[in-house]
Amino acid sequence: MRHRHVTPTDLITRINVTPIIDVALVLVTILLVTAPMLTVADLSVDLPRAHTRGAEDERNVSITRAANGDLALDRQRIAREQLRAALATVLARPGNDNVLVVIRADTGVPYGEIRRLLADARAAGAHRLAVATRQDPGARP
């Protein structure tokens, strides 16, 4: 029986970071995909159509009003009477003084109710307001 002579080789003393980077990139991708879904309530709304959509990429607070009357502030469902106080609390947090407040309302919600939501947001201390719409693919800007 022959014995092979094994020559001592250099030991690998560095950590292989490739798997760590792969896992980190997958986690970042998951975060980027799911983050926009976490800021909007799960109320089903049919947004009105518009020619343009703006202010989607900036941080905002959303007020969602469903056709059946349900109301949510970001992801938390609230009663209509609690909206002004709850929004004032959110806007009082550090860094939220100039945040965009977006009204997301179903197309079946009367304009008067949307106007009241805008007035409540303004009374709660919101300086920047917007109404969410759906992009109309057939329309030209």
71-116 per-position pLDDT tens digit: 998 888 999 889 899 999 888 888 887 888 889 888 888 888 889 9
> Whole-model pTM above 0.95?
no
Quote the CA–CA distance of 85 and 88 in Å, as a whole number.
Answer: 5
Quote the CA–CA distance of 17 and 25 in Å, as a whole number.
Answer: 12
